[in-house]
Structure 1
């Protein structure tokens, strides 16, 4: 069966990020659609599966397994399973990025709190 999830039915966070989990629809992936202001991004975290980032607009500083990667619109970055990672929108434009999780639902363990302190 084909599913169409209209914007009004999508899970949306206060910051505008859309979260989609494939499991209820028989999909094998889950995604975040992120539109991040300069300086914004998730805390350092890991997943037991790979995550693929597709940058549509803007620039990002990505920290992957302790290494810094500078990425920009058009780049695709693949993070291996169980690898600590995060990204920060560098500006001046907003970062538009699709985060593809190789799982039908999100599994995430945060390694730091919102202030950057280890948890």
Structure 2
């Protein structure tokens, strides 16, 4: 972060990139923020396995189509849509479209805590 005010500034996308892909992981506690997020870019059929968090998660679809499962309910969200999932309820999402899915998963926590239920 490049700022003279504690807890403010810019976090470069390259600094929070996950591996060599385009997705990013922002952990709020590392930057003086009370929320965390994943900015995900998935190809068709890609997505994380079922998992849960001890806090709510909110997804914002930036581009593409996401098939989101929360508990026993599955729905499709498109660009501009927002979906939510409560704490402790298993959930997952998959790119359900033909192009790239860009989605932000906002974690209501300064740290990211997730427990996966399926093997990848």
Aligned residue pairs: how many? 114
Q: What do you get for the CA RMSD once the two structures are aligned?
A: 1.1
The residue aligned with 2:84 is 78
Deviation at 1:65, TM superposition (A): 0.4
- TM-score using structure 1 length: 0.90
1:44 and 2:50 aligned: yes
Deviation at 1:24, TM superposition (A): 1.8
Q: Could you report, residue by residue, the CA deviation over 1:4-29 in whole angstroms, capped at 9, with x for unpaired residues?
A: 11133223234321001010221000
Q: Which moved more, 1:66-75 or 1:41-50?
A: 66-75
Partner of 1:88, secondary structure, is: strand
Q: Hey, which bits of structure 1, 4+ residues long, moved more than 4 A? A: none
Partner of 1:40, secondary structure, is: coil
The residue aligned with 2:33 is 27
Query: After superposition, where does 1:102-117 map in structure 2 within 5 Å?
Result: 102-114=108-120
- TM-score using structure 2 length: 0.90
Structure 2 residue corresponding to 1:11, chosen from 17, 22, 27: 17
